């Protein structure tokens, strides 16, 4: 036995074994060697640290190799008495929730709360009201949500005590502890029969046990397992242990392939795979085997192109997050229009967004995806969609007219501009002479605009960078109005369409106003 100190508590635990997880000074690592070091006295632990900056070498000292490390600098030796080898979940619960002196001591710090929120990648749910924790500590049976993050928990220490101690727990966070075996997690779940939400993130586990099929927890609805070096096969095995999860978050792992058998994850609606090195969109398409998927996060996964080889894939997908990838073509954005239920898209930090101004890129995305209602967190107004779609017609109108007599070129144009024909049906055919004229004046620095108020009109030449806010002030001054007016833009190409200029922070050029267009001024 070895006696270690955890905070103000002395804990007797077994001697370290190869493969154990340890914590020392806030750093975590895995024991790779136990024994003597040439030239030094007593027993040492060889540790491969999670943070390579914490280490000093690759497991070799003075030319002698004692163990192997993940990186050239993640290894070091440390005295056994300098590390925490873990404690049981029972001791962690009684220590954390049973020894509070007052209400203030029972509250989590803001820093800890932020850490939990970041791990979940979602707004955090209340922990027993937080403010009510102190009043409930003396009665563990009233606990419904338990947070044991960063408590150096490594084992369960008993098969029935947890069930008797806190039988009503529905949410459990055991992230960033010292677990090494999935069996330990499963045995905890066996005792918490009402458990619906589980976070096991930042625990480095061994292989899934061969008898994992023995465990089955149909009541669990949410599973978070980020930063655990998992592959997709392990995630699939977890899907069999927790068969009816509707939320699965596995960000920042080592997932590269996504082969998913039919029938697995029948209730899964939210899947978070952010930060995994997936790379190919063909892998993402394999997730179409999940029938009820509504929210998919594949941010920062190395995707370069989006394409669907089959129709009607992901029939229920409403929200897609694909920011921080390497998508460099507009055809990929057009492919997303095939997702019939897609309403909410996050698309930031991709190379294609550098091909035009940001405002123009936003317009192109809106025009290419017909059902989109929310883009990068902003709700799209009807006038924004009208403006974007109409601008799209004008932007590619000459090219569209030039391919009408060539079937092959027309087919190629349609592939590149997935909704152009639909927009022509919606707004009408563009006039060739007007498009040609506009093409020649687009390079002019000032735009000649006709302001109309009742029977009066004024012509002004304006820079495309003028803000709508200043435009409103100018119109008020032009017609000596007593109050701020409302402005509506009418293009000469489609005079029946009026677009309200109600976003004062946008530039005139955002609405693709050209020479000869009108701005209607009303009170």
Q: CATH number for 447-522: choose from 2.40.50.100, 3.90.1150.10, 3.10.20.90, 3.90.1200.10.
A: 3.10.20.90
C-alpha 350/C-alpha 369 separation (Å) is: 17
The answer to whether 351 and 323 are in contact (CB under 8 A) is no
Query: Domain residues of the chain, as ranges?
Result: 20-82, 145-389, 390-435, 447-522
Burial of 250 (0-12, 13-18, 19+ CB in 10 A): buried
Tokens for 135, please give them: 């009043």
Half-sphere exposure of 371 (CA within 13 A, CB side): 14
C-alpha 215/C-alpha 236 separation (Å) is: 14
Helical axes 407-416 vs 382-402, angle rounded to 10°: 160
Architecture of the 145-389 domain? Alpha-Beta Horseshoe (3.80)
pLDDT at 104: 38
- Sign of the CA dihedral 117, 347, 268, 282? negative
C-alpha 296/C-alpha 313 separation (Å) is: 13
DSSP 235-264: HHHHHHHSTT-SEEE--SS--------TTS
Nearest alpha carbon to residue 233 among 267, 272, 196, 207: 207
C-alpha 225/C-alpha 124 separation (Å) is: 16
Instruction: List the pLDDT tens digit at each of the 523 positions of the chain.
Output: 333 344 444 333 458 899 999 999 999 999 999 999 998 888 999 999 999 889 999 999 888 999 999 999 999 999 999 999 999 999 999 988 875 444 433 444 444 455 555 554 544 444 444 444 444 444 788 899 999 999 999 998 765 588 888 999 999 999 999 999 999 999 999 999 999 999 999 999 999 999 999 999 999 999 999 999 999 999 999 999 999 999 999 999 999 999 999 999 999 999 999 999 998 999 999 999 999 999 999 999 999 999 998 888 999 999 999 999 999 999 999 999 999 999 999 999 999 999 888 889 999 999 999 999 999 999 999 989 999 998 899 889 888 888 888 889 989 998 899 999 999 999 888 766 556 444 433 344 688 889 999 888 889 888 888 888 888 888 888 888 888 888 988 876 666 778 888 787 788 877 778 888 889 998 8
Q: What angle do CA 165, 171, 173 make, to 5 degrees?
A: 95
Burial of 81 (0-12, 13-18, 19+ CB in 10 A): exposed
The answer to whether 489 and 518 are in contact (CB under 8 A) is yes
Tokens for 430, please give them: 């563009």
pLDDT at 445: 60
Q: What is the 3-state secondary structure (H, E, C) of 395-433?
A: HHHHHHHHCCCCHHHHHHHHHHCCCHHHHHHHHCCCCHH
Nearest alpha carbon to residue 220 among 157, 265, 175: 265
Return the biggest CA–CA distance within the chain.
99
C-alpha 485/C-alpha 57 separation (Å) is: 71
What is the fold of 20-82?
SH3 type barrels. (2.30.30)
What pTM was estimated for this model as a whole? 0.75
The answer to whether 307 and 328 are in contact (CB under 8 A) is no
pLDDT at 483: 83
C-alpha 367/C-alpha 370 separation (Å) is: 7
SS3 state at 344 = strand
């Amino acid at each position: 036995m070895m006696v270690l100190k955890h905070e103000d508590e002395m804990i007797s635990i077994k001697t370290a074994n190869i493969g154990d997880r340890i914590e020392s000074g806030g750093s975590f690592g895995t024991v790779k060697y136990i024994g003597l070091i040439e030239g030094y006295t007593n027993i040492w632990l060889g540790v491969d640290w999670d943070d390579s900056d914490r280490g000093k070498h690759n497991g070799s000292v003075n030319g002698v190799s004692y163990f192997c490390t993940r990186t050239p600098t993640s290894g070091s030796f440390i005295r056994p008495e300098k590390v925490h080898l873990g404690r049981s979940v029972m001791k962690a619960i009684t220590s954390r929730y049973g020894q509070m002196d007052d209400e203030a001591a029972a509250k989590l710090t803001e820093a800890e709360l932020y850490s939990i929120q970041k791990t979940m990648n979602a707004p955090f749910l209340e922990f027993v009201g937080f403010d009510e924790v102190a009043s409930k500590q003396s009665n563990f049976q009233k606990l419904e949500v338990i947070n044991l993050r960063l408590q150096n928990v490594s084992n369960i220490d008993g098969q029935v005590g947890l069930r008797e101690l806190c039988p009503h727990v529905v949410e459990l966070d055991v992230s960033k502890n010292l677990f090494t075996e999935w069996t330990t997690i499963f045995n905890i779940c066996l005792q918490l029969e009402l458990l619906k939400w589980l976070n096991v993130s930042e625990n480095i586990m061994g292989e899934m046990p061969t008898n994992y099929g023995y465990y089955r927890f149909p009541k669990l609805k949410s599973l978070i397992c980020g930063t655990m070096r998992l592959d997709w096969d392990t995630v699939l095995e977890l899907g069999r242990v927790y068969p009816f999860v509707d939320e699965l978050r596995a960000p920042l792992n080592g997932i590269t392939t996504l082969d998913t058998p039919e029938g697995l994850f029948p209730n899964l609606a939210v899947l978070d795979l952010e930060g995994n090195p997936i790379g190919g969109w063909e892998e993402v398409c394999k997730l179409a085997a999940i029938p009820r998927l509504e929210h998919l996060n594949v941010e920062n996964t190395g995707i370069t192109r989006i394409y669907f080889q089959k129709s009607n894939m992901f029939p229920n997908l409403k929200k897609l997050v694909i920011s921080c990838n390497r998508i460099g073509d507009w055809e990929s954005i057009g492919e997303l229009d095939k997702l019939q239920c897609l309403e909410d898209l996050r698309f930031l930090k991709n190379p294609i967004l550098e091909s035009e101004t940001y405002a123009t890129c936003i317009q192109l995305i809106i025009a290419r995806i017909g059902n989109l209602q929310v883009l990068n967190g902003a709700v799209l107004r009807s006038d924004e969609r009208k403006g974007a779609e109409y601008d799209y017609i004008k932007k590619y109108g000459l090219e569209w007219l030039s391919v009408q007599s060539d079937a092959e070129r027309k087919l190629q144009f349609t592939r590149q501009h997935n909704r152009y024909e639909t927009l022509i049906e919606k707004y009408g055919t563009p006039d060739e002479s007007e498009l040609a004229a506009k093409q020649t004046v687009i390079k002019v620095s000032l735009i000649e605009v006709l302001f109309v108020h009742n029977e009066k009109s004024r012509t002004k030449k304006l820079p495309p960078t003028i803000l709508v806010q200043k435009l409103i002030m100018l119109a008020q001054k032009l017609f000596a109005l007593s109050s701020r007016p409302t402005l509506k833009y009418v293009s000469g190409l489609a005079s029946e369409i009026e677009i309200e200029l109600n976003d004062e922070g946008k530039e005139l050029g955002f609405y693709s106003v050209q020479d000869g267009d009108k701005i209607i001024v009303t009170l």
